[in-house]
Structure 1
Amino acid sequence: AFKFPAGSIIVFDKGYVDYQWFAQLTHQKVSFVTRLRPKTVYQVKSSRNVLATKGIIADECIELSSAHAKKRGSPKLLRRIEFYDTDKKRTFEFLSNNFHLAASTIAAIYKDRWKIELFFKAIKQNLKLKSFLGRSRNAIQTQIWIALIAYLLVNFAKHMAQEEWSVQRLLRIIQVNLFERKLLRSLFVPDKKWRKQEEPQLRFFL
């Protein structure tokens, strides 16, 4: 299990709900932000004033009252924040054990999680990073770093490519020519005849 230093803030999807873990994080003074699962049973203990201009609909101190939550040792009190996202045109309910940050900050923290999710989704789609060759922390981090470096290099090469070429198309071209010793420029701008004296200007080979 991961260990986080006191004062950390972790964000995760509602699929990772574990009430016993919530209690452990709270005891370790680690804040968390997640989504409140639909049909969660709780009692509102108190409410705070909200700023509707920032999309906050409700900011409440709640106690989970389901038998499962109590059996798993859920924290006595948690914070429920209801937020309306103007970009997605929908309402979200967040659950947190942090009572110090502003409700709008809690919502912004979870919104940043979406950016991270989109980032890794792009890596999975473009670099086929769907499984790991090793299970140790070092092996996983190494493979992710290699994928990131490859992705950055391809994005850099995109500047040399013809207009309207996507990163996905560049990756397909590289895959087809993976075992050929060719200049990247000759692959990405195939319609132009490069003179021999221009070749030393670019030393990126496959």
Structure 2
Amino acid sequence: MDKDTLFSSFGKWVAPIFSTTFLDQLAQNHADAYVKKLTVPAYLKLFLHAQLQQREGLRSIADDVLSKDFQQELGFESISFSQLCRKNNQVNPALLENLFEQLARKVLRSEGATAADRKTVQVIDSTTISLCLQRYKWAEFRQTKAGIKIHLRLAFMGKESVLPERATITTAKKNDRTQMDALIDEEGATYLFDRGYVDYKAFDDYTERGIHFVTRLKNNAVIEPLESFPIPMESRVTMDERVRIGSASKRAKREYRMIETADSEGNLLILVTNRFELTCDEISDMYRSRWAIETFFKWMKQHLRIKRFYGTSERAVQNQVWMALIAYCLLVLVKKKTQTPHSLLMLSRWLRVLLWKPAEQWLRRIHRPPSRKSAGRRRLNST
């Protein structure tokens, strides 16, 4: 019998979570000490199932256990709303964060890239999730609003898609610059980020440590031109200079390269970088590639459960965000391992339909080539 027939489709999807490394980590942290029923593995299965099915709340998640197939997967026949609520507030978010990073590394390894390749170019950005101030007072953002901010470091998979590989979660009040040390740390990598991360002291530090960056300058930047570089004919770049940069009160100690170009809509971009060995067009194309993150943010907000939360505590909110990122990595892992041309959305739809069927059925559907009609529709949508 093929080993895939031993799993339900759901069991096959979540199987990469339960690696020896993760189970050893649970044991070392005594995460399930004295727990007989709702263990961390069971909690993960319940809340990943809720992510997949877009469940509205904890009572809906508790009702899912009425399914005999799910009971067999979990090893128990019922769970209460209050048990789910307690567990969601008890699980240490750091545990889920580590699991997310393990899965992200597994996805990137499946790309076949070396460690050096994987960190060549990375994108840093953040997205804000609005919350109700009355229910989430710990996340106060403005006088009448609350919110959290998800700060992400993303690696490229091919030319147009990105995968989150590291993240931090803060209240929306936190400035993006406060998370730079947590996300920017790999020597030899080139980081692409927007002007919300401009920090002249950090730029000098990165240059000394062999960390590269490409970013936009703020409108109020003080610029001292030092040398102009020739611009190739038919280039979209209109200026390429060696400069000193800073603000009215602070100035970077080192010299940097400033490039003036335009985005896809013709808007002016003033870029600054510490990479002098690349051509000006390579620098501008590199920065434009960061817009792949907007596609990811759009997908995340449309198809992952992160706009409404199952709990109001900071820990419950963070756990749900990590669970959403874990669910995303699991879908990408299936897509990479099967090398299917089908979208992540199609993989998740088929998984929902074939949830408790043998995994072989789900994999067969994934391996079926797209029809000419659907392939043509995809081409139209991409133009």
- Cα drift, residue 16 of structure 1: 0.8
Q: Which residue of structure 2 aligns with residue 82 of structure 1?
A: 260
1:156 is aligned to 2:344? no
Distance, in Å, in 1 between the alignment partners of 2:283 and 2:291 is: 13
Q: Given the two structures, how large is their TM-score scaled by the length of structure 1?
A: 0.65
Match of 1:122 among 277, 299, 304: 299
Output aligned runs, 1:1-206, within 5 Å: 1-2=181-182, 4-70=185-251, 74-85=252-263, 87-129=264-306, 132-133=318-319, 140=322, 143-150=324-331, 154-156=345-347, 183=353, 202=361
Partner in structure 1 of residue 121 of structure 2: none
RMSD: 3.1
How far, CA to CA, are the matches of 1:105 and 1:49 in structure 2? 14
Q: CA deviation at 1:129?
A: 3.4
Distance change in 2, residues 1:29/1:203 (3 Å): closer
Question: 1:155, CA displacement in angstroms?
Answer: 2.1
Q: TM-score, normalised by structure 2?
A: 0.37
**CA distances 1:52-92 after superposition (whole Å, capped 9, x unpaired):** 5120100011112534222xxx232111100123x312221
- Structure 2 residue identity aligned to 1:24: D
Query: Which one-letter code corresponds to 2:261 in the other structure?
Result: F
Structure 1 distance, partners of 2:362, 2:274, is: 53
Shift of 1:26: 0.6
Equivalents in 1 of 2:344, 2:215: separation in Å?
34
**Unmatched 5+ stretches in structure 1:** 161-173, 175-182, 186-198
Does the residue aligned with 1:88 lie in a helix, a strand or coil?
Answer: coil
Q: Equivalents in 2 of 1:69, 1:146: separation in Å?
A: 43
Secondary structure in 2 aligned to 1:132? helix
Following TM superposition, the consecutive aligned residue runs of length 4 or more in structure 1 with deviations greater than 4 angstroms are 150-153, 199-204
SS of residue in 1 equivalent to 2:259: strand
Secondary structure of the corresponding residue to residue 15 of structure 1:
helix
Q: CA shift at 1:127, angstroms?
A: 1.0
2-structure distance, mates of 1:96, 1:203: 46
